[in-house]
Amino acid sequence: MNDLTRLPASVLREQIAARKISPVELTDAVLARAEKLQPVLNCFITIVADQARAAAKQAEAAVMQGKPLGLLHGIPFAAKDLVNTAGVRTTFGSLHHDDNVPKEDAVCAARVKQAGAILFGKTTTPEFGHKGLTDAPLFGRTRNAWSAERTSGGSSGGAAVAVAAGIGPIGIATDGGGSTRIPAAANGMVGLKQSNGVIPHSQVADAFGNYTYVTPMTRTVMDTALMLQAMAGPHPSDPWSIGIAPQDYIAAARPEGSLKGKRILFSVTLGNTMVAKDVRSAFDQALVKLKDLGAELVELQDELPNMEPIWKVLNHTTWRARFDHLLRREDNRLSPSLVRQVAMAAEWSGTDYQHAMFQRTDLFRRIQGWFETADYLVTPTLSRTALPIDQDLFEPIRIDGVEAGELRRNWFPYTMPFNITGHPALTVCCGYDAEGLPIGLQFIGHFRDEASVLRAAALYEASESWLNRWPDL
């Protein structure tokens, strides 16, 4: 059973189609592991065992009857509890929505189901995904898969931990400032934030000004490609998605060929002030691997402005528009950290918001300029490995024992820019620190060229042996 839950979706789908693995057996193994590890990791808000078992029986019957099978047929998946799932409680991590049951699936969830995957649970998120740490009054803290003393990261902490712990092979996450890539890096997983519109976002309130994404969370680059293939494609609900034809992500994720002829810009800081020694060392070693794969490496001389103030104006004003009515209620039960950030937005005017949008445009054009002469940008994903489990959002973080300043600005300055610009960004594991905690490497590519990013990440992944490591749970 333990071996069954360690197989990637790419292998499981082939074994299921060949009738060597039963969807029922696989689903039972996933549910058993979830039941065993949930008290330790706290990575689920809801588990729907009966529904999953019923769907697994139907999936098995389809295999036995020789029916056409989807890309993810019979494979269990969990969805972050920000993602609507028809008939399954979706709380947004909020006490105000603890009994909310959507009538319809989000487009991303509907497509994963249409590909044959089986929903077995909803993973933890801070309330409305409002921070890069996963805790909420509704469920408490989610622990890192590699250390009970460290945070899972966030806001898709539950999704990352569930995959890292081998509870389920794939999950749906979301990313508004790094919320997929932060926990993926902190738990040694693969986290993709695709370009705007590649996967339709049917729940976002401001589709035109959108900087948030529904995303795959997986263990391998190929599994990310499978999920992306299932979820991508235009949909009327998302104007950014209309007219975009999906690429062949599965072919792209095969680690074939080399990076010969490819030019990679790299930056260990991207304007950041402090980077942990272990992160620098792992990053340098990853660059050597990329050079060995044939790439030309060029250090980026241009530094980005501090992203946090730009992102904060865009993000917090959005939150104020969405959540101010809850904050004003007499029975307000919002997380104090969310309340504090919504209150910040009261200081900003419509002019401030529009200036931030102007800066968003300037930033996009600046990065487009980099890609006129380069194929990729490579950075660390985080400035240090997973933070302590009790880290407060508003307290400074420490890097190599030294106080480094505000969490967002100093832990994940590498992720926020690409939410704002929409360029694809993917994190993979590139090593471990002295305490055995995972370190992330981020690939950024040309706008709407996810296939190229998957290819580079797959080649790097195949050159290393990090996938052989599993957390000792």
Tell me: the pLDDT tens digits for 370-415? 999 999 999 999 999 999 999 999 999 999 999 999 999 999 999 9
Which residues, in sequence order, are bridge partners of residue 151? Answer: 143
C-alpha neighbours within 13 Å on the C-beta side of residue 21: 25
Helix (H) or strand (E) run with residue 283 in it: helix 277-292
Question: What domain count does the chain have?
Answer: 1
Closest-CA residue to 41 (of 149, 143, 152, 157): 143
Share of the chain above pLDDT 90, in %: 97
Residue, of 2 and 237, whose pLDDT is higher:
237
The secondary structure of residue 150, as a DSSP letter, is B
Q: Does 212 have pLDDT greater than 90?
A: yes
pTM of the model: 0.98
What residue spans of 75-199 are helical by DSSP H? 107-114, 157-164, 181-186
Question: For residue 369, what is the domain's CATH number?
Answer: 3.90.1300.10
Q: Please tell me the predicted confidence (pLDDT) of residue 20.
A: 97
Q: How far apart are CA 37 and CA 243, in angstroms?
A: 43
- The answer to whether residue 473 sits within a structural domain is no
* pLDDT bucket at 197, cuts 50 / 70 / 90: very high
**Catalytic center residues:** 80, 155, 179
Q: How far apart are CA 206 and CA 348, in angstroms?
A: 18
Q: How far apart are CA 254 and CA 225, in angstroms?
A: 9
Q: Does 173 have pLDDT greater than 80?
A: yes
* pLDDT bucket at 2, cuts 50 / 70 / 90: low
φ/ψ of 22, rounded to 5, equals -90, 130
Helix (H) or strand (E) run with residue 56 in it: helix 49-64
Q: Please tell me the predicted confidence (pLDDT) of residue 304.
A: 83
- The answer to whether residue 261 sits within a structural domain is yes
Residue 339 CB neighbours (<10 A): 16
Which residues, in sequence order, are bridge partners of residue 296? Answer: 263
The secondary structure of residue 388, as a DSSP letter, is B
Q: How far apart are CA 335 and CA 337, in angstroms?
A: 5
- The answer to whether residue 55 sits within a structural domain is yes
Average pLDDT of span 111-125 = 98
Structure tokens given for 2: 């333990």
- The answer to whether residue 318 sits within a structural domain is yes
Share of the chain above pLDDT 70, in %: 100
φ/ψ of 454, rounded to 5, equals -60, -40
Q: Does 359 have pLDDT greater than 90?
A: yes
Structure tokens given for 437: 């905690």
Tens digit of each residue's pLDDT (9 = 90 or more) over 303-358 = 888 888 999 999 999 999 999 999 999 899 999 999 999 999 999 999 999 999 99
φ/ψ of 46, rounded to 5, equals -140, 135
- The answer to whether residue 252 sits within a structural domain is yes
Q: How far apart are CA 31 and CA 37, in angstroms?
A: 10
Q: Does 369 have pLDDT greater than 70?
A: yes
Q: How far apart are CA 88 and CA 281, in angstroms?
A: 44
* Residue-range definition of the domain harbouring residue 292: 4-468
Average pLDDT of span 48-67 = 98
- Supply the mean pLDDT for the chain: 97
248, amino acid identity = D
How large is the angle between the packed helices 350-370 and 307-327, nearest 10 degrees?
A: 140
CA angle 449, 107, 137 (to 5 degrees): 105
User: 390: which residues sit within 8 A by CB, 6+ positions away?
Assistant: none
Q: Does 1 have pLDDT greater than 70?
A: no
Helix-then-strand count for the chain, H and E: 15, 15
